[in-house]
Structure 1
Amino acid sequence: MDSSAPGGNLTKPLMIALGALLVGKMMSGGGAQASTPAASAPDGGLLGGVGGLLDKLKNAGHGDKVNSWVGNTAGDQKPIAPGELGAALGPQTVSNAAQQANMSEQQLLSMLAQNLPQIIGKLTANGTIPSLQQVAAALTQK
């Protein structure tokens, strides 16, 4: 198991979905499955990077959960339900990420809900939001 990658031993489809959400089409195997420009945030992925993801979750009323994840690698992050995550991200974002990861929307939301708190904790271990380059590097570590 590779404990240096965010979340440890994540499956390839989940890593592709995270890449789509946070970084952009570079995670989809060379960009062959590029999303439409209207579906992508200008500063990274479908959500505008880690900051965009956290903002979306906070704006949906999950600030207490998000705050328990950032900079917290101790494992006592507050959980988020798949339905809450889906509602916060929006149906188009979930659909696009699921398509890029070649999985159902329910599978995607279930995997993200289970792993996102730990991933965000590791990506923000120093208490700051990482750049797109840092996220891309972390998601592509072997």
Structure 2
Amino acid sequence: MANAMPSMVALLGMLAVAGYQNRDKLGGLLGGLGNQSGDPANRQSGGLGDLLGGLGGASAGGALSGGLGDLVDRFRQSGHGDKADSWVNSGANASVDSSDLEQTLGDDTITELTQKTGLSRAELLDRLAKTLPDAVNHMTPDGRLPTPQEAQRFAG
């Protein structure tokens, strides 16, 4: 599962750094996605800015929608689709543990996230395990993955 899609890596990085409990701040972080350019003067500074810079000209809604789709697909491919599906569908959210995340995301993605967020591997996995189910649930209120236009509401 090497070479994660930039939108998925950015989504996971934002969740790990900001934490779902600070989701109101995610809108501010995502608002600049459409304005990312190769010019360092126009990019956000720090590890999160570098993480987001990989998205190029993608819209915030497209990045969220694509990132969620990539993430759910990864969980399905790794045999943990029932967990991801529980977050998208109505009903109780299944929990996820560090070993499930490691198996699903793979070493390359986890290494990239730790480098770009500045979090240790253990802290990154712990934060994602705590925030990911509720975050995906919140971003899929209709029981399905949002379209890019629908996902835009989470970025503004």
TM-score of the aligned structures, taking structure 2 as reference length: 0.58
Relative to structure 1, the CA distance from residue 70 to residue 8 in structure 2 (aligned partners, 3 Å threshold; closer, same or farther) is: same
Paired residues, number: 120
Which one of 46, 57, 66 corresponds to residue 84 of structure 2? 66
Residue 127 of structure 2: aligned partner: 111
- List runs of 5+ in structure 2 lacking aligned partners: 1-18, 37-42, 57-61
Say whether the 8 Å CA contact 2:93–2:133 is kept in structure 1.
yes
Instruction: Give the aligned partner of residue 102 of structure 2.
Output: 86
Q: Give, in whole Å, the separation in 2 of the partners of 1:36 and 1:88.
A: 22
Distance change >3 Å, CA 132–CA 108, structure 1 → 2: farther
**Aligned partners of 1:49, 1:36: CA distance in 2, in Å?**
11
Alpha-carbon distance change, 53 to 116 in structure 1, aligned in 2, over 3 angstroms: same
**For residues 15-54 of structure 1, what are the alpha-carbon distances to aligned partners after superposition, in whole Å with 9 as ceiling and x for unaligned?**
6xxx7xxx8xx6x8367524599xxxxx748xx5100000
Q: 2:44 aligns with which of 14, 29, 53?
A: 29
Q: Structure 1: state its 5+ residue gaps.
A: 1-5, 38-42
Could you tell me which amino acid in structure 2 is paired with residue 29 of structure 1?
A: Q
SS at match of 1:78: coil
User: Contact 1:49–1:132 at 8 Å: present in 2 too?
Assistant: no
> What secondary structure sits across from 2:20 in the alignment?
coil
Give me the identity figure in percent.
27
Which is greater in Rg? 2
Which position in structure 1 is the counterpart of 2:21?
Answer: 8
Could you tell me the TM-score, scaled by structure 1's length?
Answer: 0.63
Q: Tell me which amino acid in the other structure corresponds to 1:8.
A: Q
Shift of 1:129: 1.1
Pick closer, same or farther for the CA change 1:36–1:69 going to 2, 3 Å. Answer: closer
Q: Indicate the structure with greater helix content.
A: 2
Any conservation in 2 of the 1:35–1:96 contact (CA below 8 Å)?
no
Structure 1 residue 102 displacement after superposition: 1.5
Residue 40 (structure 1) aligns with:
none
Aligned-residue offset at 1:105: 1.7
User: Equivalents in 2 of 1:59, 1:126: separation in Å?
Assistant: 23
